[in-house]
Structure 1
Amino acid sequence: MTMTTHSHKPWTDKGGHVTVTVLQERYRASERLVCRVVGQHRSTQRQGGKVIDLEEAKLRHRLREIAAEHIRWGRRMAYRLLRREGWTVNHKRMQRLWREEGLQRPTPRNRKRARPADGSVRRHRAQHPHQVWAMDFQFDATADGRRLKFLNVIDEHSRLCLAIRVGRRCKAKDVVTVLEELTSLYPAPAFIRSDNGPEFIAQALRDWCEASGTATAYIELGSPRENGFAESFNDRFRDEFLNTELFTTAP
């Protein structure tokens, strides 16, 4: 059998490959023979259309939903939520899909943390839960411009937020009330870390600490990063909640 092709105008498909099927039908030849004659590898005949991965399509859709619901979340927070929901996806695949969907947030600048020379940040480092609690105030406002004052209490070992109290004001007696409520649920801490604001150095709080066997660990004036766990929580609380919500009323 003689097979003749015209090199100046070959039969080709949209990809520029000689249409082997056409030649097979015309000359009733095998795929192997036709591919050898036209100089085309047989593997080119095995390339089918792109198969749609339905599982990946669903995953991409869920990622877009998460990004819309939690606009301040990054890839790691979304990954944790997916795992809790039962998705089986590894870090590298998650990173690729998150990037391809255009969901990446701008990378925050790393702030250099100054450590005091006396080592006070490490002096009372928590070795187990409820050994050291950190307290700090945070401020926001309702829609009418009136101030909101938040008291946040964090367990430094577990990094669990134990309490968030919000009101127009928060005095020393209110701080004591929050601590009394917490110690009805958890053991009293060995230390409470805070700044030396008037609410935290008031006699009412000192009396509570003495009665509870809790010592105070005040940070240096003007050194909020010495209260690093509270500061870290405050940053995320503002970024993920306070900056995304509008308050119209307050207790």
Structure 2
Amino acid sequence: MSKGYPKKTVLKIIGIKRSTYYYRKNYRVEEKQVSEGRPAPGYSIAKDGKKISDEQIKEWLLEEVAGDGYAYGYRKLTKQLRRKHKLVINKKKVYRLCKELNILRPQRQKRDSVPRRLARNRVITGSNQLWETDIKYGYIEGEQRFFFVLSYIDVYDRSIIDYHIGTSCTGQNAFETLKRALWKRQQYDQKEKPVVRSDNGPQFISHAFTQGCEKLEIEHERIPPKTPNMNAHIESFHRILEDDCLSRYEFQTYEEVYQVVSEFMKFYNEVRMHGSIQDMAPMEFFEKNKHMAIKIKEIRV
């Protein structure tokens, strides 16, 4: 350009946009200065206004650690300095001084969470291969409290094998319901038991449920967060339960809830037709399929 060539042509040849060229020509790009922060003053102030040196504070910290305060971390040591020596000091400075003295307590090791076996894609070809479970809750208007319905569904024949109704629902409730379901399907003593699939609710990650499954040698898999489609069959049933049963009532007592939900479970299993199993009721399909295989659409989950 200094030799008279057009700027537009030169910039095009070297591949620089004109906007970039003029920006750098007209505006000086200054390097940012990184601040090192203010230097440590080397003292703290007591409530009476007296300056206490960091060396003195370190001596007090060593005394606390050597005495009854050994179990204290830097946060509690900060409170101790404030109470005992009337210091105006924050926990960040105490942390720094403890680090310089190498008296910081080792951090607690994070406990391993309950091991999770992620749900994997499966092709279901018969009953008692995969059961899904989840929890539905409703409200008792007359008693101003919630109730819970935990259900186990066989994804092949769509039967609700067993369920729990209560004003609470724990991991132990989930496990006890699973045991009843195994007895009903005569799977309790089988070597190959159904796989149980759930979400990551507190009941299903509890020690009671996890250890119970391990004891019975049941494979329990959990779906990844925010993937309810991997638990679609039980989600679909709970939608049916809501639309055809719970939404029709304004419950006044828990006894009313128990009666209504129990009656609906019986109706669903024994009477209500299901399109995916040739318009049969789940129990009807289950019994007929035991004696002669009924062809239905392939189930992939």
* TM-score of the superposed pair, with normalisation by structure 2: 0.41
* TM-score of the superposed pair, with normalisation by structure 1: 0.49
